[in-house]
């Protein structure tokens, strides 16, 4: 489960690690998350917030929509990130983490938050929306480990 001491110890070790000569330090640019469908990186600038949330199911909603949650004094619909409609496994009703997109009234549920990473945008583009109903989330490129780097279309 959540162990604050372990997180603080790990972060302290990361901050104390020596910097390799010639290695340029860049601030984190993307949040790295995972779902049953894979790993995703979303630009930090596109997020209004990211937190653990309780989600209330809405009867008769599509399978990829989990329900609604209360965040910043209003209600937000919540959808699974990267799970096409009809492919949501039974029993996955309590996500660990919800990402709230800036400028959109939508929460994206993920199973795990894996940390922050610094990425450039020097990679080639891939066409196509991430999933049906998420046409504004497009795959910008794929990292060597299979992580899909996403961009948010206006």
> Mind listing the pLDDT tens digit for each residue in 86-97?
555 554 455 568
Q: Is 123 helix (H, G, I), strand (E, B) or coil?
A: coil
Question: pLDDT value at position 23?
Answer: 47
How far apart CA 49 and CA 103 sit, in angstroms, is 11
Q: pLDDT tens digit string along 3-27?
A: 777 777 777 766 665 554 444 567 8
Q: pLDDT tens digit string along 29-62?
A: 888 998 877 888 899 988 888 888 888 888 888 7
**Residue pair 29/118 in contact by the 8 Å Cβ criterion:** yes
Which 8-state DSSP code applies to residue 83? -
* Range among 27-31, 61-65, 79-83 with highest mean pLDDT value: 27-31
- The beta strands (E) that lie in 10-136 are given as 30-35, 38-43, 47-51, 65-71, 74-80, 97-101, 107-110, 112-117
């Amino acid at each position: 489960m959540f162990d604050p001491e372990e997180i603080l110890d790990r972060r302290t070790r990361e901050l104390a690690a020596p910097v390799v000569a010639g290695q340029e330090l860049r601030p984190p640019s993307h949040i790295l998350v995972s779902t049953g469908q894979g790993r995703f990186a979303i630009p930090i600038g596109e997020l209004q917030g990211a937190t653990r949330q309780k989600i209330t199911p809405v009867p008769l909603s599509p399978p990829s929509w989990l329900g609604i949650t209360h965040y910043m004094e209003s209600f937000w619909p919540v959808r699974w990130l990267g799970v096409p409609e009809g492919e949501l496994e039974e029993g996955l009703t309590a996500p660990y983490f919800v990402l709230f997109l800036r400028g959109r009234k939508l929460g994206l549920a993920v199973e795990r938050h894996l940390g922050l990473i610094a990425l450039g945008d020097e990679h080639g583009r891939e066409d196509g929306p991430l999933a049906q109903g998420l046409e504004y989330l497009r795959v910008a490129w794929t990292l060597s480990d299979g992580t899909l780097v996403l961009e948010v279309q206006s």
